[in-house]
Structure 1
Amino acid sequence: MNARRLCTALWLLLPFIHLHAAELTLELGTHSQRLSSAQLLAHPQAQTVEIRDDVSYKRSMRYRAVPLAALLQGVQPGDHLQLVASDGFAAELSAAPALSQTGSQAWLAIEDPAQPWPPLGAGKPSAGPFYLVWQNPAASQIGPEQWPFQLASIRTLAPVAQRFPQLLPAADASPTVQAGFAQYQKNCMACHRLNGAGDSQFGPDLNIPHNPTEYFSSDFLRRYIREPQSLRRWPQGKMPGFTLEVMSEAQLSELLEYLQHMAGRKVQP
């Protein structure tokens, strides 16, 4: 086999090599471990689950999966989780719904190298090797940002307000602004930083150098959040639209109040 054919063969094998070598890192307080795809597929609680209205694939999907609660050794409902994807997406989540045995149920889906999942789109990889999926997500108000795919690590951390005081509204901020801070944590923080604060490496900062409320009119900003590519269309655009089912008009108003409030509280990173 000449060098060119060898390189081509290795390139074709890369996705399968990646799947075989895939590991999920768990950093749960003093407990830390790495689990391979093979270990997770052989987990005693692994089973086949059906996920209706899968957030990433936009249809029903079936996965080999382990209850997330079975992997969260020593984690308590009051703890805070961060789930980081290989592309820098960093979802923040209270541990309570992840541990719940009723209502919403969280599953870690594991991609089997022998039965790879479909790609997420033309020229895109699959959601694997690890993907957090939910049954009955509405019961715990789980939004699309709490479905991280290509998951690389899960860890317990202090709550967002303790880790990043740069994100906090003023002490005398209105209840609407405080509610908007909660919406920011749920819907924006997985992709964006604000005042340089956050762990995501995915999207731009929402306050430095300029806050979107400073260069979008209110109507256009609402439209942009609902359907980003209706205003800015480009092939690399990755921001999802936030439908009424994900974020009500009242919740969107709360988020915009928070962003506008933070435009007056810039902190240079």
Structure 2
Amino acid sequence: MKFLLASLLLLTASAHSAELQVTQGDHRHTWSSAELLSHPQARDIEIPADVAYKRTMHYRAVPIAVLLDRIAPGDHLQAVALDGFAAELPAATLLATQGARAWLAVEDTKNPWPPLAKGKPSAGPFYLVWTNPQTSQIGPEQWPFQVATIRQLAPVAQRFPALPPAADASAEVQAGFATYQKNCMACHRLNGAGDAEFGPDLNIPHNPTEYFASDFLRQYIRDPQSLRHWPQGRMPGFSEQVLPPAELERLIAYLQHMAKRKTAL
């Protein structure tokens, strides 16, 4: 909560130029939106089928790699949004210059972006977007918006020992853990472990594999509103293009495995 409030204060400190904090090891740099908009590598880009706006959008953006000059491909990063959404991002994907390419879109207060919905703010002031995302299977959880901080962290398994499956777990379960990190950790914790402050814990008190019967868990992951029509519901559906059937089965295998590995809060 303290981190979230600090981030909120950071972004609202100036009515004219928001600030983004980038932490790489012991080095911390604060970028203002004005600095980023005038960055020598800033470009005007087009994003078809934008994840947040569900249509083609145009942004002034900087390649995220130029802000990560102290990061190596084997490192791990996390982008944290104002609402507690915490996207886990392998550095290699962010640093890539071929295939999918990551950009930091920067909102200009003189030309603000539209609201995400009626009565909602925009995706700004900072939004991680991708060109050619399909070439690297970039999922919707890797498009964090309203970003406050990008920081280098230790890998997930090292930071949160309560998350990895047992050492002798099957290859399917181990692969499911990777799918969980990519698609679920941005919103959820499991066994109380994780940085997200957005959605419920997926193992405590009950794992979804314990209360969803038959194929209803698969249906819920594909289209949450088809089971629980809730206007305030914010969980997105994961299509087969985003989460192929084989990956969905691996994710469920991991959740079933973790239902037997609950830890006390």
Does structure 2 retain, via aligned residues, the 8 Å contact 1:19–1:37? no
Q: Deviation of residue 91 (structure 1)?
A: 0.2
Alignment of structure 1 residues 139-150 onto 2, 5 Å: 139-150=135-146
- Residues 37, 112 of structure 1: 8 Å contact kept: yes
Once the two structures are TM-superposed, the CA of residue 44 in structure 1 deviates from its matched residue by 1.0
Counterparts of 1:152 and 1:17, CA distance in 2: 12
Normalised TM-score (structure 1): 0.92
Distance 2:49 2:231 in 1: 24
Tell me the percent identity. 69
Q: Secondary structure at the match of 1:138?
A: helix
CA distance in 1, matches of 2:70, 2:246: 37
**Alpha-carbon distance, 1:19 to partner:** 5.4
CA-CA distance at 1:18 after TM superposition = 6.3
Shift of 1:190: 0.2
Higher-Rg member (1/2): 1
Give SS of 2:128's match: strand
2:82 to 86, 94, 109: 86
Question: 2:110 aligned with 1:114, yes or no?
Answer: yes
Corresponding position: 1:29 with 2:16? no
Distance 2:218 2:199 in 1: 18
The whole-number CA distance in structure 2 between the counterparts of 1:218 and 1:126 is 39
Please tell me whether the aligned partners of residues 76 and 152 of structure 2 are also in contact (alpha carbons under 8 angstroms): yes
Q: CA 1:19 to 1:93, structure 2 compared with 1: closer, same or farther past 3 Å?
A: farther
Cα deviation for residue 35 of structure 1 reads 1.0
- Residue aligning to 1:76: 72
What amino acid is aligned across from residue 88 of structure 2 in structure 1? E
Corresponding residue to 2:125 among 126, 129, 135: 129
Quote the Cα distance in structure 2 between the aligned partners of 1:196 and 1:16.
30
Match of 1:255 in 2: 251
> In 2, are the aligned partners of 1:81 and 1:94 still within 8 Å (CA)?
yes
- Equivalent positions of 1:1-269 (< 5 A) are 20-269=16-265
Give distance in 2, aligned partners of 1:88 and 1:218: 32
What secondary structure is seen at the aligned counterpart in 2 of 1:101? coil
Structure 2 counterpart of 1:127, which letter?
A
Q: What is the identity, as a one-letter code, of the residue corresponding to 1:195?
A: N
Equivalences, count: 255
Shift of 1:16: 9.3
- Which contiguous aligned blocks of 4+ residues in structure 1 show a shift greater than 6 angstroms? 15-18
Shift of 1:42: 1.2
Q: Which amino acid aligns with 1:198?
A: G
Q: Does the 8 A contact of 2:17 with 2:109 survive in 1?
A: no
For residue 166 of structure 1, give the secondary structure of its aligned residue in structure 2. Answer: coil
8 Å Cα contact 1:19/1:129 also seen in 2:
no
Question: Does the 8 Å CA contact 1:89/1:201 hold for their aligned counterparts?
Answer: yes
- Structure 1 residue 20, shift from structure 2 partner: 2.1
Amino acid across the alignment from 1:59: R
What's the TM-score, normalizing by structure 2?
A: 0.94
Distance 1:180-1:98 versus aligned 2 partners, 3 A rule: same
> 1: distance between equivalents of 2:194 and 2:94?
22
CA contact (8 A) 1:194 1:207 kept: yes
1:73-122 superposed Cα distances (whole Å, 9 cap, x missing partner): 21011100100001000000110111111111100000000000011111
SS in 2 for 1:221: helix
Distance 2:14 2:233 in 1: 26
Q: What root-mean-square deviation, in Å, do the aligned CA atoms of Structure 1 and Structure 2 show?
A: 1.4
Counterparts of 2:15 and 2:143, CA distance in 1: 20
Deviation of 1:144 (Å): 0.5
Amino acid at match of 1:24: L
The AA in structure 1 aligned to 2:61 is A
Q: CA deviation at 1:138?
A: 1.6
Q: CA deviation at 1:218?
A: 3.5
Question: Aligned with 2:162: secondary structure?
Answer: helix
